[in-house]
Structure formats: structure tokens, C-alpha cells
Amino acid sequence: MTTKVYDAIVIGAGSVGVPAAFFMAQAGLKPLVIDQFASPGQGSNKAAIGGIRATHSAPSKIRLCLKSIDVFSTWQEVYGDDIEWHRGGYSFVAYRERDERVLKELLRIQQSYGLDIRWLGRDDFLEVLPDLNPGGLIGGTYSPGDGSASPLLSCHAFYSQARERGAEFRFRERVTGIIRRRGKVVGVRTDKGGYATETVVNAAGPWARAVARMVGLDVLVAPDSHEAGITEPVARFLEPMVVDIRPAKGSKNYYFYQHKPGPIVFCITPDPPIVGTDRRETSVFLPMIARRMVDLMPKLANVKVRRTWRGLYPMTPDGFPIVGRARELEGYIHAVGMCGQGYMLGPGVGALLTRMVRGDTTPEDAEILEELSPYREFGGEEKLK
């Protein structure tokens, strides 16, 4: 065991762990981040397609993502790295009355939290999305303040700026145990050594349950896999992320947008879910999503797909993240179960974790932590996972 005592050891250099290290180091703390892979963001982070929205239905996620949008949208101006942020907005399409009803119900909640989101009837919606198939279109929601960025570039930017501020990272090193003494965390054991700390943050994404089990805790995170793809870059013709919540054979919703340098990036929610940690692409994904996308936006038939991949959502039973201190073990913090939104939640959660470690959480943080508590009932269900 090294003699240096870290202010916090973060297990996982992913969507949550890397921005957490950045905010900790910026606040003058000395964090150590440990990851089993060779470089930052090689778990779920690199599988994310880059969508970032604050338009959720739960106050905790809204507040965390408003902070994240603030960080992503100002990053280049403040820190100089281009992370390919683009404020194109988000749009949810409605071709069925039931989807119109669901989206309008959500809209009322979202507007009550002051979010800039509105319902657009067919013609106004077609002004925002002129290439949408107009047949049967009723309208949709539009939130112009949301956007997208590159999960690879932003993770690397958080990483390099965290290191410049004194955060340490250890790659190709697997955490194998959390060392305790008299009910308190005192360190972390890995396959290469040991490190001392009084605070450990489990930010292990899809592998979080195994990490929690190292100290006899159970955290209800189960990985399920989702596939995504990217096309060749084309001249900009599409502004917002397009989300279609209609189910079809083999899939639930799917969503796509035009990334800043021009490619269309797309992703689908398989139905039934494909539970497990297998990350090999399937042959059914591309034909399935291509048909749905071309039906919705016929112009897409002319764009060539370059690559597909498969990644893991760290899912919880209710679709909400699990963030909070363990009552059973002093010094242990859960920051897990980010589901399909860990990339957009990352900076917001990272800043919150920093305040938790420093012991200067605000009354607003207390409300967020209550909603995301590891000890909640897990009975509800997130409306837009």
C-alpha cells in the first residue's frame, strides 16, 4: 500500500468517474481514479451517441443535466478543448394520438420545472424538421436548449484537465477489494497494489454490482446492451435529436441526430432487452433501425452507414440512477445505475460527488440525493428511459 492518502478513490474512469475527478481536482482535492481498461472512457462512455438533454420528468435528473449542459456548452470557451458541442435541441415525434397524449402529459411536468420545451403542431414541427415523413404526422415536442457533444472528446478533455489539476489516474488496473477498518473505508486493493483513502466512489458503470459486492453491499444495477451506428458525414440538414417512441417488432424507441462534423449517429432500444455484458454487434440491428429511420425520414436512404457498435446501459429497476452514501459503511459512495443517460448526467453527478466529498452539499443536493437514494423503494418507473 502506498503511503499517500487520497481524498477520494474513484472506481471507474467513465462518463461519471472522469468528470468527477475533474471537479474534485478543481476544488483542490486529490483524487485517484482506477480503471481496468487501457485509457479513459473505454467502458460504456465510448458507446454513447452523445445526446445531452435536461428535458427529463424528475427534478433530480433535470437539475443534474442543467448543470451538465452548462459544462458541455461552455467547455471550449472556458477550457479551450473542442468537444463538438452543438445545441441542436431534442424533438419527440408523434404519429399516434397516444404518443401525443404521453408527450403532452410529460410536457406539463417539464414546463412546470421551467424547462424550455414546447408542443409544435404538424406544420410548425415540419419547419424544425423539414425532412420528416409528413404522412400521419400529428406534431411533437421541441426543446431547443438541449444538444450533443462527442463522448470521446469530452471524456478526454475532462481527463487531461483533471490531470493538469493534480488528479491521478491508474489504467489497466482492476479493483479487487475495498479495505475497511471498524466500519470505515480505509483503502482500495487492486491487482497491482493498494491505495489509502477514507472515501471510495463506486462509478463502475455496468460492473457496479460486482464492486458493491466487494463490501457486502447489493446495488441493483444490471447491464443490458444497446446498439448504435454512425454514417458518413454529410452537409447539415438536421438540427435536433429525433426520438420516435413508437414500438415496433424487436424494438422500442430509437433516436438519431446529426453530429457536429456531419455524420448521423443513431441508436435503438431492443425489445425484449438483451441482458448481459456481451458487446459483439448483431446482424439484426442495422436492417431493423435503417428501415425505421428511412420510413421516418426518407432522405436518409441516401446516406451510407460507416460503422455500428454495441454497448451497455447500466440499468436500475426504475430507470433512475443510484447516488448516495452507504449507511452500512462509512466512506463508501454509490454513483451508479446511470441507465441510458450517464453521459449527459456525468458532469452534473461529478460536481455533486465533489460537494459530497468536501461535505458542502446544498439543500438542492439533499433533494436530488433523496430522489436517487440507494434506499428508495424502486417501485416507480422513469417515463423516458
Minimum Å gap between C-beta 7 and ligand FAD is 19
Distance of alpha carbon 296 from alpha carbon 308, whole angstroms: 20
Q: For ligand FAD, how many residues bind (rule: CB under 6 A)? A: 42
Q: Which of 31, 50, 140, 350 touches ligand FAD (CB under 6 A)?
A: 50
Q: What kind and span of H or E run contains 162? A: helix 151-164
Distance of alpha carbon 178 from alpha carbon 261, whole angstroms: 43
Cα 290–chain centre separation: 24
Q: What angle do CA 254, 42, 37 make, to 5 degrees?
A: 150
Q: Enumerate residues 6+ apart whose C-beta is below 8 A from 353.
A: 8, 16, 20, 23, 24, 201, 323, 333, 335
Minimum Å gap between C-beta 136 and ligand FAD is 27
Is residue 223 at the binding interface for ligand FAD, with CB under 6 A as the rule? no
- Main-chain phi, psi angles of 121, to 5 degrees: -70, 170
DSSP state for residue 12 in the 8-state scheme = -
Is residue 322 at the binding interface for ligand FAD, with CB under 6 A as the rule? no
Nearer to ligand FAD, 175 or 326 (CB): 175
Nearer to ligand FAD, 50 or 187 (CB): 50
Nearer to ligand FAD, 139 or 231 (CB): 231
Q: What angle do CA 34, 35, 39 make, to 5 degrees?
A: 115
Q: Enumerate residues 6+ apart whose C-beta is below 8 A from 324.
A: 333, 334, 369, 372, 373, 374, 375
Nearer to ligand FAD, 117 or 200 (CB): 200
Is residue 197 at the binding interface for ligand FAD, with CB under 6 A as the rule? no
Is residue 228 at the binding interface for ligand FAD, with CB under 6 A as the rule? yes
Q: What kind and span of H or E run contains 288? A: helix 285-296
Q: Which of 21, 45, 159, 296 touches ligand FAD (CB under 6 A)?
A: 45
Is residue 49 at the binding interface for ligand FAD, with CB under 6 A as the rule? yes
Which window, 2-10, 133-141, 335-343, 360-368, contacts ligand FAD (CB under 6 A)?
A: 335-343
Is residue 270 at the binding interface for ligand FAD, with CB under 6 A as the rule? no
Touching ligand FAD, residues 16-35 (CB under 6 A): 16-17, 34-35
- Main-chain phi, psi angles of 28, to 5 degrees: 90, 5
Nearer to ligand FAD, 133 or 378 (CB): 378
- Sign of torsion, CA 96 98 102 105? positive
Q: Which of 31, 147, 206, 223 touches ligand FAD (CB under 6 A)?
A: 206
Distance of alpha carbon 246 from alpha carbon 254, whole angstroms: 8
Distance of alpha carbon 267 from alpha carbon 257, whole angstroms: 10
Which window, 56-64, 285-293, 297-305, 336-344, contacts ligand FAD (CB under 6 A)?
A: 336-344
Q: Which amino acid is at 314?
A: P
What x-and-dash track marks residues 281-320 binding ligand FAD by CB under 6 A?
Answer: ------------------------------xxxx------
Q: Which of 26, 27, 30, 37 touches ligand FAD (CB under 6 A)?
A: 37
The residue whose grid cell reads 432500444 is 269
Nearer to ligand FAD, 139 or 319 (CB): 319
Is residue 267 at the binding interface for ligand FAD, with CB under 6 A as the rule? yes
Touching ligand FAD, residues 123-182 (CB under 6 A): 174-175
Q: Which residues bind ligand FAD (CB under 6 A)?
A: 11-17, 34-37, 42-45, 47-51, 174-175, 203-207, 211, 226, 228, 267, 311-314, 338-344
